[in-house]
């Protein structure tokens, strides 16, 4: 292995992988899109090379004299699609010895009818979502493999351990009092410690051969949401009982937060409603616009006006919803675990970090970065 190029080296996973390899003296080229999040790697006094995934020439320069490439990059818009295609095409063109790509369990969507998912499960992400974009990337890798690119695809769930943004999110909601269990937290919470993920990435780099196929990797055994949240609550010294909602209540809450499709008919119905008119009249300028809109509505045929008013009568009264994190409710409702059997067979995947050690690693990181347990932290907690 001559040199490993890590795209997205300043990110959560990329930084962890780079630090491990650098500590062992493995030649690494750390490639970043911007310096905004590069403080973690900059401590090691290494060269960080800027690269633009949307520019194939920039990518070619980035992988020059590198035998292996790991794609830890993320981004918005075309970076996830055009950028990924450029990277994969350039690696195939350069005939790199191994291309390792990070996928996501998001490719399988959010709704499941079986308790355990393996690689051959149907991929049903919502069009345009993060999972949909990751699925498109996986398909690009598979096509490139058929053209000769020696490639491996590692597919993790939510990532835990030091610097975990997912565990940080749960901690924020716990401190804000906006986290709620679904069915008392009995559902599985699939995680992979970042150390187990880099372990899998390195196994992918060293595997005898790649096949371009997605391989699920996660911690084993899978913890429940109650186990994860209880550990974090104890770490944060939160003693208040954590609320719980039923699966049916959680499904209703998540449905209510989904964007509603608009229509001209609905908009006109709102314009002729008394509630909207009363609000508009409070401002003279907007009030004049309201009068104009109402006059326009009055010019509509009487049958349409009557239908609009009938629609308004059928609108259900607003019911106060519990102030809870809907995103974390949705995560719990997945109620699924992921099988690592294919990764075990292909690379001998055996995660070295167990749940207790992973949570301890996160707690030690939180103590260092948040001042957890320190006198100032305790004072702030009391002031809240």
Place of tokens 């992921």: 338
The residue-averaged pLDDT of 42-53 equals 86
Which of residues 42 and 178 earns the better pLDDT score? 178
Q: Kindly report, residue by residue over 170-201, the tens digit of the pLDDT.
A: 999 999 999 999 999 999 999 999 999 999 99
Question: Would the pLDDT of 321 be above 80?
Answer: no
- C-alpha of 49 from chain center: 26
3-state secondary structure string, 101-138? EECCHHHHCCCCCCCEECCCCCCCCCCCCHHHHHHHHH
In terms of pLDDT, which residue wins out, 158 or 299?
158
What integer pLDDT is reported at residue 161 of this predicted model?
Answer: 98
Better-scored residue on pLDDT, 299 or 364: 364
Q: What are phi and psi of 356, to 5 degrees?
A: -60, -45
Kindly indicate the confidence band of residue 88, based on its pLDDT and cuts at 50, 70 and 90: very high
* Per-residue pLDDT band at 295 (split at 50, 70, 90): confident
Place of tokens 């949570």: 359
What is the spatial distance between Cα 233 and Cα 228, in angstroms, rounded to a whole number?
9
Q: Report the chain's C-alpha Rg in angstroms.
A: 26
Task: List Cβ neighbours of 58 (8 Å cut-off, separation of 6 or more).
Answer: 51, 52
Give, in order, the Cα–Cα distances in Å from 50 to each of 31, 55, 61, 86.
6, 12, 10, 16
- pLDDT class of 117 with cuts at 50, 70, 90: very high
| Residue-range domain boundaries for the chain | 4-163+187-235+335-382
Distance in angstroms (rounded) separating the CA atoms of residues 321 and 111: 23
- Residue 219 and residue 154: Cα distance in Å, rounded? 14
What is the overall mean pLDDT for the chain? Answer: 88
Quote the pTM value: 0.82
**Per mean pLDDT, which range of 111-120, 308-317, 322-331 is the poorest?**
308-317
Share of residues in the chain with pLDDT > 70 (%): 83
| Both structure tokens of 291 | 């009068």
* pLDDT number for residue 318: 46
Q: What is the topology classification, in CATH, of domain 4-163+187-235+335-382?
A: Rossmann fold (3.40.50)
CA distance 18 to 317: 55
pLDDT of residue 3: 95
| pLDDT at residue 342, rounded to an integer | 97
- CA distance linking residue 303 with residue 3, whole number of Å: 74
Q: Is the model's pLDDT at 379 over the cut of 60?
A: yes
Give the residue-averaged pLDDT of 261-270.
Answer: 54
Q: What are the pLDDT digits (tens) for 153-175?
A: 999 999 999 999 999 999 999 99
């Amino acid at each position: 292995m001559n040199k490993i190029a890590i795209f997205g080296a300043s990110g959560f996973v990329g930084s962890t992988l780079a630090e491990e390899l650098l500590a062992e003296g493995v030649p690494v080229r750390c490639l970043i899109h911007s310096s905004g999040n590069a403080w973690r790697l900059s401590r090691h006094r290494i060269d960080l090379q800027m690269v633009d995934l949307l520019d194939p020439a920039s990518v070619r320069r980035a992988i020059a004299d590198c035998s292996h490439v790991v794609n830890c990059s993320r981004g918005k818009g075309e970076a996830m699609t055009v950028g990924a295609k450029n990277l994969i095409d350039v690696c195939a063109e350069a005939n790199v010895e191994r291309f390792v790509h990070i996928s996501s369990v998001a490719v399988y969507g959010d709704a499941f009818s079986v308790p355990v998912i393996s690689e051959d499960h149907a991929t049903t992400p919502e069009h345009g979502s993060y999972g949909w974009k990751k699925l498109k990337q996986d398909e690009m890798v598979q096509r490139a493999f058929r053209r000769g690119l020696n490639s491996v695809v590692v597919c993790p769930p939510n990532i835990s351990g030091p610097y975990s943004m997912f565990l940080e999110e749960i901690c924020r909601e716990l401190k804000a009092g906006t986290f709620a269990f679904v069915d008392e937290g009995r559902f599985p919470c699939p995680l992979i410690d970042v150390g187990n993920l880099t372990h899998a990435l390195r196994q992918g780099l060293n595997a005898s051969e790649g096949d371009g196929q997605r391989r699920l990797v996660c911690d084993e055994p899978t913890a429940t949401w109650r186990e994860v949240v209880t550990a974090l609550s104890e770490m944060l010294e939160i003693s208040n009982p954590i609320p719980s909602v039923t699966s049916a209540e959680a499904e209703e809450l998540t449905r209510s937060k989904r964007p509603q499709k608009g229509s001209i008919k609905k908009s006109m119905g709102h314009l002729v409603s008394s509630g909207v008119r009363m609000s508009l009249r409070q401002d003279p300028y907007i009030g004049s616009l309201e009068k104009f809109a109402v006059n326009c509505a009055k010019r509509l045929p009487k049958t349409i006006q009557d239908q609009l008013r009938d629609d308004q009568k059928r609108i259900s009264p607003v019911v106060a919803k519990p102030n809870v994190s809907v995103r974390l409710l949705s995560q719990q409702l997945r109620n699924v675990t992921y099988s690592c059997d294919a990764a075990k067979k292909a690379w001998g995947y055996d995660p070295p970090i167990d749940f207790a050690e992973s949570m301890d690693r996160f707690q030690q990181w939180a103590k260092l970065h948040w001042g957890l347990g320190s006198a100032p932290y305790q004072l702030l907690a009391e002031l809240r």
